[in-house]
């Protein structure tokens, strides 16, 4: 299975994890909710719906523009640099700044490509934000839980979100979809690739870039 194989399987199973009902597509979702992680999840969900609706019918003719907008949207709400270092695990401390930046770019590109191609094919999925406790004073991390309803089947989805000191923004740092922890899955794959290549980080990045293009 390719590096992004687990994500492809999940997207097929859930028929588009971030496509939601029109009831969420209200102007309130597009306000600046950077200080509320729960509203931030609703924001990215509603924004994704609008993007899918805009490009669904003529995606093939406007694929480049679609992926550019999807990348911009995810860059706002997902901390790819943080996630990429986590995927590299102990190898991040051995890597140069250039290697970390290169892997972040490759990882982000592969994830957006896989995610975007899966999402554009689906619609009519309902996602509900589950009840949650209020944030405690000084709390800087939170798990936001949703459930995805597709053809009568309910799939659990949860985001790990952290508030970063430099910006004060809440950003997604991991996802667990239907019991599959994406961060741990990708970290295992990176370690396995590094072991196969004798710890050669450049070889791992090159292989990751090639595989993500398949």
Which pLDDT score is estimated for 90? 95
d(CA 73, CA 178): 23
Domains of the chain plus CATH, in order, are: 5-212 (3.10.450.710)
User: How many separate helices (H) and strands (E) can be counted in the chain?
Assistant: 7, 5
Give the side-chain half-sphere CA count within 13 A for 124. Answer: 2
What tens digit of pLDDT does each residue of 87-135 get?
A: 999 999 999 999 999 999 999 999 888 888 877 776 566 778 888 888 8
Report the chain's mean pLDDT, rounded to a whole number: 81
124 dihedral zone (left: phi>0; alpha: psi -120 to 50; beta)? left
Do the strands 180-181 and 170-177 form a parallel or antiparallel pair, or are they unpaired? Answer: antiparallel
d(CA 42, CA 20): 10
Residue 1 confidence (pLDDT) above 70: no
d(CA 75, CA 57): 25
Which pLDDT score is estimated for 2? 53
Residue 26 confidence (pLDDT) above 50: no
What tens digit of pLDDT does each residue of 38-63 get?
A: 888 888 888 887 888 899 889 999 99
Least confident of 15-29, 55-69, 115-129, 130-144: 15-29
């Amino acid at each position: 299975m390719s590096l992004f194989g687990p994500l492809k399987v999940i997207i097929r199973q859930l028929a588009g994890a971030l496509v939601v009902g029109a009831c969420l597509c209200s102007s309130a979702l597009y306000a600046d909710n950077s200080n509320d992680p729960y509203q931030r999840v609703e924001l990215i969900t509603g924004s994704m719906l609008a993007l899918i609706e805009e490009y669904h019918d003529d995606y093939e003719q406007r694929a480049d523009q679609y992926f550019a907008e999807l990348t911009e949207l995810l860059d706002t709400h997902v901390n790819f640099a943080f996630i990429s270092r986590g995927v590299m695990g102990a190898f991040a401390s051995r890597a140069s700044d250039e290697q970390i930046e290169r892997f972040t770019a490759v990882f982000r590109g592969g994830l957006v490509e896989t995610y975007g191609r899966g999402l554009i094919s689906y619609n009519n999925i309902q996602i509900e934000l589950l009840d949650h406790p209020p944030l405690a004073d000084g709390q800087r991390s939170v798990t936001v839980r949703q459930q995805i309803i597709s053809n009568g089947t309910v799939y659990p989805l949860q985001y790990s979100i952290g508030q970063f000191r430099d910006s004060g923004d809440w950003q997604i740092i991991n996802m667990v979809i239907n019991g599959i922890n994406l961060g741990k899955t990708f970290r295992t794959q990176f370690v396995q690739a590094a072991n196969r290549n004798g710890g050669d980080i450049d070889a791992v990045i090159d292989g990751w870039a090639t595989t993500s293009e398949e």
